[in-house]
Every structure is written in structure tokens, then in C-alpha cells.
Structure 1
Amino acid sequence: MTKPRQCFGSAGCNLTVEPSLSLAVDSEDVDPDATYEITYEICGDESGPVIETAELTEQTILSYSPSSISTASASTKVSVKITDVQKQ
């Protein structure tokens, strides 16, 4: 999910990206006592992909830091994909 952009004409935009994840498995398959480290890649930053990590605990608590990125233009599409999930 992206927060409102601050754009500078043809110079691009600054924006904040926060992961919005949904569980695509039965919650009973998720160990409530485990911490899951979720690595994801944000595409669209003018410097290249940004790799970030979120943690899922107690089946429902997602912890992450919002990412600030800059796009090359206002029309740049920003996307996020999960690249890895590790049970800790």
C-alpha cells in the first residue's frame, strides 16, 4: 500500500510504501508460537529494487518499518512481491 505521493512535475515522486499482506493459508497451519520473517521487494524506486523485511508473530501481528522511495516519474508503477518466508 502506498501513502499519498509528493510529486515534483517531471522530476518524479517521493512516497511511503507499507506492506499490506493477507494470509493465503489456513491460520491453523501457522504456528502461533513462531515468528515468521517475511522478505519482500519493492519495485519502482529510481535507484532499483528495495528489499525489506516484516515479522509476523502470534499469527496476526505484523511488524515492519514503512519504506520511503523516490520514483523517476509520476507515472512509475510501484509494486511489492514477497520473495521469502522463514520460520524463526
Structure 2
Amino acid sequence: MDLRTTKRQCFGSVGCNVTVEPTLSYVGAFNGIDPDAVYEITYEIRGDQSGPVIETAELSNETSLNYSQSLISTASSSKKVSVKITDVVIQGG
């Protein structure tokens, strides 16, 4: 999982407001994923000045990712924002 920055507004040395959304890619043998299942993917966005932001996206039909954009505030314009998947659950599983 990666993050795509869709909006950035910086305030000099004070930091930036950044809007990000998840992008998902799959690397490896494509097995073990049920095309009829809906997966809840919980991820942690790092780089916000208040601490990590936890979000959840839903993957269905193997390729349809539903999510909400996240607005975070960084402490400086050079602060890197990163993401890490923390949990994957099959809905109803």
C-alpha cells in the first residue's frame, strides 16, 4: 500500500496540511484472495504532527478499493508521510 497526495497547503516553516488517499498494489502470486469476498484493510498513516492516523479501506471484487481521504498536518514541509497495513479482515469472516 502506498499513499497518493491529492492536496498540499504549506505554511512556511510551520508545516503543511496534506490530503492523502491509499493506493493498493499486489505483488506476488495471485492466490488466496477470494474474488467474492470483501476485505477490510486497516492501515496506519505516519507523519501527522499529532501522531499516527488509523484508517480502514474496503477491497471488493479484487480491484475495487473504497476509502475516505485523510487530512493530516505535518510539522514541516520536509516531513515524509508513510503508510503501513496493520490488519486485514474478511467481512463476515
Aligned letter for 1:55? Answer: E
Gaps of 5+ in 1: none
Q: CA deviation at 1:28?
A: 4.3
Q: TM-score, normalised by structure 1?
A: 0.92
Is 2:42 the partner of 1:58? no
1:38 to 34, 38, 41: 41
Structure 1 residue ranges (4+ consecutive) displaced by more than 3 angstroms after TM superposition? 25-28
2:52 to 49, 53, 69: 49
Is 2:65 the partner of 1:85? no
Q: CA deviation at 1:27?
A: 3.7
Q: CA deviation at 1:63?
A: 0.2
Aligned letter for 1:21? Answer: L
Give the fraction of aligned pairs with identical amino acids, expressed as a percent: 68
| Greater shift in the superposed pair: 53-62 or 20-29 | 20-29
Count of aligned residue pairs for this structure pair: 88
